[in-house]
Structure formats: C-alpha cells, structure tokens
C-alpha cells in the first residue's frame, strides 16, 4: 500500500517524487511504500502549520479536547488492527503491540481531559482591589520528531499534549515506522482536526529532520531518540533560542538485594531486559546484584533467557521479536564482541539467530554477561538490544553508587523486602523514574516521564508536566481600585 505526506489537510506525495519501502523486520516483507521527502516538503508543512495556528489557538480548549476524545475512541475501535501493524512494521510481539496502542489511547483521553483544566494559578495580591492570576498560552508551531520503538504511543504523547494546548504540529516519524505514523494521522483527520493543525512529513533525518529543526517558524522541538542526535538538535538550535525538549538514552539497572524475592526479580529482569527485544529507552541493561545471591540469580536468569522463543510477533507463542534493522543488529553484535574483549563472561546468546524462518529477519539471541565491572563499555554505553550485564556488589550503598555512575539517568528498579532499604533507594537513586519490586519498564500516562543527566534536558513527557514545554506562562494583573497602586511601595490598606 502506498502512503503520502499530510500537509494542510491534504494527502500529497513528496515534491521529490521519490519513495522508499517500509519492511517487516521479522521477514523482510513490504509493509508500505512512503515518500522520501525533502526540505521543500518541510517548508510547505511548516507554512501550513503556521497559518493554522492563527485559528487553532483561538479554538476553545474544551473543543480541542472533544476532538482528542474522538481520536481516543477511534484508537479504541482500531486497536487490534493497529496493534498488528505495530508488530509487522516495528517487530514487537502482538501483546506489546496492543500495549503500544493502549498507551496511545490512555494518553489521548488524559490530554483530552486537560481541555477542561489546563490549570494556571490564582493567588492573592498584596494590594487591595487587585486581582492576580496566571494562565497558559500556546507557543506556536511544534516539530515532533519521534522514534521507531513506540511508533503509536510516543507520537501520541507529543501530539495530544501539543494540540490540547493550542499549538500546531509537524510530525516527522522515524524512517523505520512511517506507515504507523500515517495511520495515526488518518485518525486525527477522521476525528475532525482542522486542516494544517497536524502535518506529516516522511523522510530521513538529513533531508527532513534537519530542515525541520532549523526552520525559523518552528517554535518548539520535541525530540525522542538517541543522545547523539538529541545533542545535535540542541546545538543546532541554541543560537536561535528555540524551545527544545529532549528524551534520549538510558543505561537502566535493576538492583537485587540479598533479601529479594528472586523468582519475582527474575521475571522482572527478563521482562525488562528482553521485552521489546531490549529496544526501549527504559530497558534494563544492567543487573546490580548483591554477591550473596549473585550465583543463584544468574543461574535462573540464564536458564530463563535461553528458553525465550524468538519469532514473528504475530505468532502468540513468540516471546521475543526481531531487532529493528540490520544496522542495529550489527551494532548489538559489536557490543557483544566488546564485552568479550573487556573480559566479561558470555553466559548465553551473543549471536545472530539464523536458523529456519529466523534467517529471513533480524533476530539476535538474548545475551547475558557476568563478571562485568562497572566501568566496562557494556556497563556504561547504551546498546539498545537484548544484552544484559550482571555486576556484583557488596551492599546497598555500593549498588546505588554503581547505579548512579553512568552518563544516563532514566529508570532504576530495586528488589528488596526491607522497607528501609527501599526508601533509602528512593531517596538516593538519581534517575527520573524509580521502581520498587518491579522492572524498569511500565510507565503510566498520569505521571511525568523522563530522566536526568544525558537522558534529557530537564523536561518531562506525560501527565501535567508535559504541558510546560508546549505553553508559555502568562501572568495577568487586574487593578479595580480606580487609583494608582505601586507594588512593593505602597502600604497595604489597613496596615501602619
């Protein structure tokens, strides 16, 4: 099936006339043919968004919310079809595909509700007969640049928050999952979103992403992707004073203390490390375990990982799908070789799966290293694949120190039955998300999501916190005293 860009309320091909194929990573089958766009397409999309902003910002927030509610309902109605498409284009197993769409449903309904909130603050004035309040104003045109690993959920995080605040959007999806972006935009169109409010331009980072980031009429950039690309976005836009929100990499750890429920910990680690084939920014790539239970935990993890069934995600028996593409698979294997050279012990996996139907896709076997030292590259650098490093420590204090000692700071989990240890970890762990007796994945839309250090640049997605990047605070004073009153100078009436 052929897909197009969506600009100014019309589905149009790229001015380049070029196209490329989006393929199923499990078997190489073509999922759709999409435009290979250029800066000229970006120019048209941004102009359409800038023009639409004039009227969209004046559309009442409750009305904007009604449109989002319709989008949420359409997502619910099409959930199974979209979930299957997530599995075909991105590769995650069907249960996770459904979860991807459900997260989009949850976020859309949450943000639709903000249409009747979008709360500011009203506080007492220090002067009599004077009223003071603050309110949110939309910023303008938003560039939403989204990754391939959550091809429905993450675009929805950005779109629903930006739109409910009164901004207009140009969406640039990852080149590995453009069909899902087009299908998502169709739902917004069907829900009655006015022309130009949401625009879609499909293409590469060089030919679409860079022109979009640098366009003078783009006011906000909301980016999710690698730390290297995010850093480039930030440096490109610094001199233009653009508002930029970055959600980037992670090197997440699960801490297992000697008093932990090991069966529960094993299930949480396997899910966090190998769910989505390790291709989540919150995936667990490190296990920091007390030496007292290192051997017992390691044996269980290796046994469980070796049994994981690889295959196409539409097969309900499949437990782990493919890596997104050949380039990523090669990167993962290079890290396996690095781990071996560094002196870590490869316990299972560490190879491309080429047997039977797996040879048609990009499958990498679940990989576990033991004997990993905290400073090794496989313990410090984001791999973004099914690779787990086991690091032994002596006690909670060392575990927390090792956890915090990376350039990233997204998600951490601790397994313990000691409430004092749990609260100490909650206090001293310096990641943006902390779980107790659960894995490192599973964020919910009603709480802020994001990380510290090089995981982000201080902003948060989801919940009320995501509204800040898409709004300007406006403070309003109304003096109804009928006379000049000077704040901080004139005495408040009745005070001597």
Q: What angle do CA 413, 414, 419 make, to 5 degrees?
A: 135
Please name the residue ranges forming H helices in 307-437: 326-342, 377-380, 396-404, 419-428
Radius of gyration, alpha carbons of the chain = 24
Tokens of 359: 């040879």
Locus of tokens 């650098």: 381
**With contact defined as beta carbons under 8 Å apart, do 321 and 312 qualify?**
yes
Question: Given 47, 96, 114, 247, which residue is catalytic?
Answer: 247
CA distances from 479 to 124, 136, 493 (A): 12, 21, 14
Please name the residue ranges forming H helices in 326-484: 326-342, 377-380, 396-404, 419-428
- The b/e string for 368-400 (b: 16+ C-beta within 10 A; e otherwise) is bbbbbebebebbbbbbbbbbbbbbbbeebebbb
**With contact defined as beta carbons under 8 Å apart, do 185 and 9 qualify?**
no
Q: How far apart are CA 19 and CA 93, in angstroms?
A: 28
Q: What contacts 3, CB < 8 A, 6 or more positions away? A: 32, 33, 34, 35, 178, 179, 182, 202
Question: Given 103, 183, 281, 382, which residue is catalytic?
Answer: 281
Tally of CA atoms within 13 A in the half-sphere of 417 that contains its CB? 6
What length is written for the chain?
Answer: 496
**With contact defined as beta carbons under 8 Å apart, do 137 and 56 qualify?**
no
First-to-last C-alpha distance (Å) of the chain: 78
82: which DSSP letter?
H
Tokens of 64: 């904007």
Closest CA to 304 of 250, 361, 264, 359: 264
State the helix-helix crossing angle for 291-306 and 262-274, rounded to 10 degrees.
50
- SS3 at position 335: helix
- For residue 281, indicate whether it is catalytic: yes
User: Kind and range of the H or E element at 393?
Assistant: strand 387-393
Bridge partners of 111, per DSSP, are none
Annotated catalytic sites, by residue? 247, 281
């Amino acid at each position: 099936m052929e897909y197009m860009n969506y600009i100014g309320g019309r589905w149009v091909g790229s001015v380049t006339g070029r196209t490329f194929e989006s393929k199923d990573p499990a078997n190489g089958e073509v999922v759709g043919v999409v435009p290979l766009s250029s800066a000229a397409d970006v120019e048209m999309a941004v102009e359409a968004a800038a023009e639409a902003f004039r009227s969209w910002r004046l559309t009442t927030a409750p009305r904007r919310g009604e449109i989002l509610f319709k989008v949420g309902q359409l997502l619910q109605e099409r959930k199974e079809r979209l979930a299957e498409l997530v599995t075909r284009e991105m590769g995650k197993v069907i249960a996770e595909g459904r979860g991807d769409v459900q997260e989009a449903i949850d976020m859309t309904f949450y943000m639709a509700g903000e249409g009747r909130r979008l709360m500011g603050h009203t506080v007492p004035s220090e002067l009599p007969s004077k009223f003071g309040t603050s309110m949110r104003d939309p910023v303008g045109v938003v560039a939403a640049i989204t990754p391939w690993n959550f091809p429905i959920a993450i675009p929805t995080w950005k779109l629903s928050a930006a739109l409910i605040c009164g901004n207009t959007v140009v969406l640039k999806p990852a080149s590995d999952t453009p069909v899902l972006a087009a299908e998502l935009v169709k739902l917004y169109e069907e829900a009655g979103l006015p022309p130009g409010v949401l625009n879609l331009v499909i293409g590469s980072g060089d030919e679409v992403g860079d022109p979009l980031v640098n366009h003078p009429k783009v006011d906000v950039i909301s980016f999710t992707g690698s730390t290297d690309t995010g850093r480039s976005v930030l440096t490109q836009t610094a001199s233009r004073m653009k508002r930029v929100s970055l959600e980037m990499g992670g090197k997440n750890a699960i801490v297992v203390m000697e008093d932990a429920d090991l069966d529960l910990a094993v299930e949480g680690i396997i899910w966090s490390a190998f769910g989505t084939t390790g291709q989540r920014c919150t995936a667990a790539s490190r296990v920091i375990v007390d030496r007292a239970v290192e051997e017992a935990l390691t044996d269980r993890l290796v046994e469980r990982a070796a049994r994981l069934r690889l295959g196409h995600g539409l097969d309900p028996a499949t437990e782990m799908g493919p890596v997104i593409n050949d380039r990523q698979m090669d990167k993962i294997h290079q890290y396996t070789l690095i781990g071996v050279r560094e002196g870590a012990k490869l316990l299972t996996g560490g190879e491309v799966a080429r047997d039977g139907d797996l040879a048609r896709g990009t499958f990498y076997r679940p990989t576990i290293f033991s004997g990993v030292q905290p400073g090794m590259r496989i313990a410090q650098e984001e791999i973004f694949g099914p690779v787990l490093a086991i690091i032994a420590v002596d006690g909670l204090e060392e575990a927390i120190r090792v956890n915090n000692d990376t350039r990233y700071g997204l998600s951490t989990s601790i397994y313990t039955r000691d409430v004092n240890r749990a609260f100490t970890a909650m206090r001293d762990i310096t990641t943006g998300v902390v779980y107790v007796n659960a894995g490192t994945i599973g964020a919910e839309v009603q709480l802020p999501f994001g990380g510290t250090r090089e995981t982000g640049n201080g902003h948060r997605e989801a919940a009320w916190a995501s509204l800040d990047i898409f709004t300007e605070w406006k403070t309003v004073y109304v003096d109804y005293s009928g006379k000049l009153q000077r704040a901080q100078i004139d005495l408040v009436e009745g005070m001597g």
